[in-house]
Amino acid sequence: MNKHIFTRSFAAVAMLLVTSVLYSQSSVSGYFVEGFSSRYQFNPAFSPQRNAIFGLGINNIHTELQSTVGASDFLFDSKSKPNMLTTFMSPEVDSDTFLNGLPNVAKFKFGYDMDLFTLGIGGKNGYTIFDIKARINMELGLPKDLFGFMKAGLATGNYLIEDTHVNTTSFVEVGLSHSHKVIDNLNIGLTLKYLEGAAYVDGNIDQIDAQLSEDAWRVNTKGTVKASVPGVRYKYDEETGALSGVEEYQFNSTDIPTNGGFAVDLGAEYDLQDVVEGLKVSASISDLGFIKWNNLYTFATDYDEYVEFRGFNQYDIDNPDDDKTIENLGDAFKDMIRLYPTEKSASETVGLDATFRLGAEYNLPFAQWISAGELLTYRTGFWPYFSSLTSVCLSPTDWFDFTGNIGFSSYGTSFGFMMNVHPAVFNMFIAVDKLSAKFNPQFVPVEEFGVNVSLGISLAFGQRRDK
C-alpha cells in the first residue's frame, strides 16, 4: 500500500467531514461512581465524597468523536495500481458501489471539554463547587445525494440535494453548583452558569438543485451561513462579490469575545430505602440556556441565481502522488455555492442543546460494594440523540472503583469502562464511555466509529462525608 496516497486520500475525506456536537461534559461511565468527584456535572444533586476538592488544568479532560462513516466508505483498492488505494472520486470506482455503502446522511460529531479550575467545599447538608471549563462542540452532516452528484461528472440527470448542515460552537463556562440534602432520602441540586462565547459558525444549505444542460450543470442553491469568529477577516471575489475565503487569522485586543450567555442545570436524587433497600433514582436537566452571539456575519446564496458548474473532476489516476483532489474539491464547492454578505455586526441568541438524564441504581444487599445501574439520556439538537447505558460498578475498597458498561444509542452499540483511584488527597481516573471502532495499521477508523475518552487528576481533602 502506498502510504502517501493513503494519507492524502483520507485527508480528502477528513476535509469533507471535519468541522462539529455533542455537548459533552465528562465521562458518563462515572454517573454511578460515588468516588468520582466530577459526577456533579451530570447531576448537580450529586456531591463529592470528601469535604473539599481542587483541580487545575488536568483534573478533567474529555474528548468525544462519532461518525456514521469511515475510511472504507471513501477509499478503494486501485484496479490499475496494485497494492494502492484510490479515493471515491476516481473513475475506477463505480458510482453504485460507492453510494450503496453510504448512509442517507454522513454524520460526524466532535466534542472537547477541559476543566480549567475546580474548587469545592462541603458542609453538613450541602456542597458548593465553583468551576471554569472550556468547551468545543462541532457537527457536520452531508447527505448521500451530495456524494452522488460529486461522482456524476457530466452524466445525464438532475439532482436535488437537501439538508447539508455544519455547526461549530466554542465557549468558556463559569459555573457555581450547589447540592443540598432536603431530607434524609432526598438531595437536590442547582448549577448556575455564565457562558462566554468564543466562536460560532452555523451553516445550512437547504437545497442544491443541479440540472445538466449541454456540457455544464446549472446549479441553484438555497442556504445561509452565520459566523461569529473573532479575528477573522473575510475575502470576497472582485468579480462576483461572493465570499471567497478568509484572511490570515489576526487576533488583537479589539477581538476579545463579548458573547455572553447563561444556563442552568437542575437535578435530584432520591433514596428509596424505605421501599427497596439499596435502590436510588435520579434525574437531571443540563445546559438549559443560551448564548447571545454578537458581531455576527450572515452570508446567503442568491435564491434566483443559477451558476454554471462543470462538475467535480481532474482526479489524476495516473499520478496519484501528485493528485490535486483536495484542492479541486474545495475550489469546486466555492464555484458551485456562492455566498454573499447580507448582514454584519448583528446579534442572535442561540439556545444550547439541553440534555435530560434519568437513572436508577441498585446496591446488592449481600455485597454492597457491587451495584448495577441504568441510565437513560436524551439530548436535543439538530439531530436529537438517545442512549441507554447499563453498567455494573465494583467498589471493593474506599479508594478504588471500577465500572463496565454496555450502551445502545442513536449511533449503535458501544462498550465502556472507568477506573477511578481516590485515596486521601489524590484522585485519578481514566474512562472510555464509547469504543466501537475498527482501525487499520495507520490507526485510521475503517468503518463507522465512536470514541469517547476522559481522564484527569485532582485533589480531594478532608474526611469522607456521610452518604
Could you tell me the pLDDT band of residue 20, with boundaries at 50, 70 and 90? very low
10: pLDDT strictly greater than 60: no
CA distances from 256 to 68, 148, 193 (A): 36, 42, 20
Task: Give the mean model confidence (pLDDT) for residues 48-60.
Answer: 89
pLDDT of the residue at 181:
94
Judge whether residue 121 has pLDDT over 80: yes
Residue whose C-alpha cell is 479508594: 399
Q: Which residue has the cell 436510588?
A: 280
pLDDT in tens, 348-407: 999 999 999 999 999 998 898 999 999 999 999 888 889 999 999 999 998 999 999 998
User: In this predicted model, what pLDDT tens digit does every residue of 201-243 receive, in sequence order?
Assistant: 999 999 999 888 777 888 999 999 999 988 788 888 888 888 8
DSSP letter at 311? -
Instruction: Sketch out the chain's domains with CATH numbers.
Output: 3-461 (2.40.160)
User: Rounded to the nearest 5 degrees, what angle is found at the Cα of 42, between the Cα atoms of 40 and 44?
Assistant: 45
pLDDT tens, residue by residue, 96-107: 888 888 888 888
Structure confidence at residue 4 (pLDDT): 43
Residues 208-218 pLDDT 10s = 998 887 778 88
What global pTM score does this model have?
A: 0.84
Rounded Cα distance between 35 and 235, Å, is: 52
- For the CA atoms of 463, 130, 183, 124, the dihedral, rounded to the nearest 10 degrees, stands at 30
* Residues in contact with 209: Cβ distance below 8 Å, sequence separation at least 6, in sequence order: 158, 159, 160, 161, 219, 220, 221
